A and B are shown apart, each in its own frame.
Chain A
Amino acid sequence: MTLELNDVSLEIDRELILDRVSFKLAAGQSLVVLGNSGAGKSKLLEVIAGLIKNQQGQIRLGGQGIDMLPPQERGIGFVFQDYALFPHMNARENILFGLNARNASEEEKSKWLKAVTAELRIDHLLERFPTELSGGQQQRVALARSMVLRPEVLLLDEPLSALDAASRERLALLIKKIQKKYRVTMLYVTHDHNEARFMGDQVLVLDAGKVVQKGSPAEIFSRPNSRFVAHFTATRNIVPAQIVKLYDTEKALVEFFGNRLMSTSFPLHGGEVWVCLRPEHLDLVYGDTARKGANELMPVNRISGYRISQFIPQGGVTVLVELEKGGSRLMVFSSSRKVELKELVIGDQADLVVTAANVHCLPRQADDIYCQP
């Protein structure tokens, strides 16, 4: 079912928690709400679920207003950050809690319990109490408890935040699979940009209760509309720059600390900008191939630098490069094995290559402060 919010606002103790939040989520789609703690993410879910009264604006489900409905009549499932399993009930009783509240028949209870627990691979854990389950198992039980009710909309409040990395990956895949299989409309809250990129068909960035940007993950991550969104979506390289030449509405030449880059994403009025370069959009190149700045004919930018430090996390290499001109530092992330295989030596010359499409420029105010990575 389509979930639609129009100008939903919430004030608690004279503090504005949600400020005219609006979005439309198509049936069976998933929306990730990304934001810092205190941004109002959890409160947004609670207002949608009816656990907090909607004070202003409208919430519509399948075109029908649901503001006046109590939580139990909304058809919305809720998975909590701390799992919220009832400690005095075993997994089976927890999962059947909602069906019992709805006076479901034994046949219906048995059918859905079997189907969902098999899907979530917890059918062998049904007699265990929450304290006897691992974090991942508890979260699966919590998910099963919501899914047996076949909700129209599923709300998940940072469901993976209390789990270890391995369990997080497994459960993320499982949630996605379940969401697609049951075609449930899903709202997923997180402060983790990696989760946001993976879990959502759409991403909405919330800051201090306000929607600051919404769009596809590709749009949000490659074309942040503010420095806040850029920073929050892990665009590690945000450098002050100036548009020195506008070719047309398609291309511009930007300069930072003496380095020149061609960009295809820039404010049309030109002037002072922030250049946003995602670490994974930068490639390291070695060797003596011609090192040049950008020009009208060269769509791929190349800038010279020296590797000054590196970190090899799981799945790739993060390298900090100091640019030859201006001494500015840029962070590069490569998942490519070729970088790993190459002998990494601090101080080596290392040039950076980035396509013009991946040089994203944001308007800059004179008093904006620059922090080098």
Chain B
Amino acid sequence: MNFPSFPALVTVVVLLAGLFFGSPFVALLQSFTVADGFSALLNRQVLVVVLTSLITALVATGFAAVVGTVLGYYFTFHKNSSSRWLKTFFSLPLVLPPSAAGYMLLLAFGRYGLIGAPLYQAFSVQIMFTMAALVLAQFFIVTPLMMQAASSAFQQVPASLVKASHSLGASEYRTFVKVLLPLSKPVLVAGVITAFARAVGEFGATMMVAGRLKTIPIMIYVKAMGGDAGVADGLSLLLVLLSFTVLLLVNMLGERR
């Protein structure tokens, strides 16, 4: 079918989309003033929040990198009749509303929760409303991301290389370490970077388990609702810059691959 005005239509859609997606960024830059923004960011309370966010996100990403890679490996190389169901189950946090995820974590790890109650009774350990809870929430949300990245990384390695490794006498572990990991490194690193950015930006689930603790997204919410535009602007800009850097890095890794 001939549609002569199609290129014009594409241009209009691209322009409208640019307008829509660009407007929040323009608005943020318009609202942000360098002097107010920096003084708000250099406040001790805000620095603690930034550090809390970065530390919990780093720890959560570290755990997610290991567990997600192992899950990705399992679902790529140990497929069986239940794999599809299991993989769907482990991917749920990707589409689950984060607030629901946070609520479920409360039910499981809260002081009266399924796992939280025996932990508290046996060791007087309380997870909820601590840094550990923040890590747990971020880990819950970003592990499926890492699993998917690892899965696609391993699928890109030609099957004959894995077979060749086994036929040459390498065990499954040696094949994983010497063949799969080196060949999947760029995709795995991109997955880790993306997972870290997602962990730093996690809001819904973290909010449910944070108690009085605050991360950058929670602080933005609190300050924006409280009318403290300086901190909200500064932290939002920080997240925008972090996200931009992450995407740039991931794209660069993609090109190298």
Contacts and interface: CB of A to CB of B under 8 A. Distances in A.
Interface in A24-57: 46, 49-51
Interface in A57-107: 70-72, 76-78, 80-82, 84-88, 97-98, 101-102
B185 to A, nearest CB: 9
B179 interface: yes
A140 interface: no
The contact size tier of chain A is: 20 to 34
A149 interface: yes
Interface string B145-176: 00000000000001011011111111100100
B239 interface: no
B171 to A, nearest CB: 7
Given A78-B164, A80-B164, A84-B164, A72 B170 contact: yes
B183 interface: yes
A101 B164 contact: no
B183 A77 contact: no
The contact size tier of chain B is: 10 to 19
Contacts of A77: 167
Contact of A86 (B161, B167, B169, B174): B161
Contacts of A82: 158, 160
B182 interface: yes
Contacts, number: 62
B183 A145 contact: no
Given A51-B163, A78-B164, A88 B183 contact: yes
B127 to A, nearest CB: 41
B160 A102 contact: no
A15 B6 CA distance: 47
Contact of A72 (B160, B169, B179, B182): B169
B160 A101 contact: no
A157 B255 CA distance: 33
A51 B166 contact: yes
Interface string B53-71: 0000000000000000000
Contact of B171 (A87, A101, A149): A101
A80 B163 contact: yes
A149 B164 contact: no
Contacts of A51: 163, 166-167
A86 B163 contact: no
Contacts of A81: 160
Given A49-B163, A76-B167, A146-B168, 5 more contacts: A70-B166, A72-B168, A87-B183, A145-B168, A149-B168
Interface of A: 46, 49-51, 70-72, 76-78, 80-82, 84-88, 97-98, 101-102, 145-146, 149
9 contacts: A50-B166, A81-B160, A82-B160, A86-B161, A97-B170, A97-B178, A101-B171, A102-B169, A145-B168
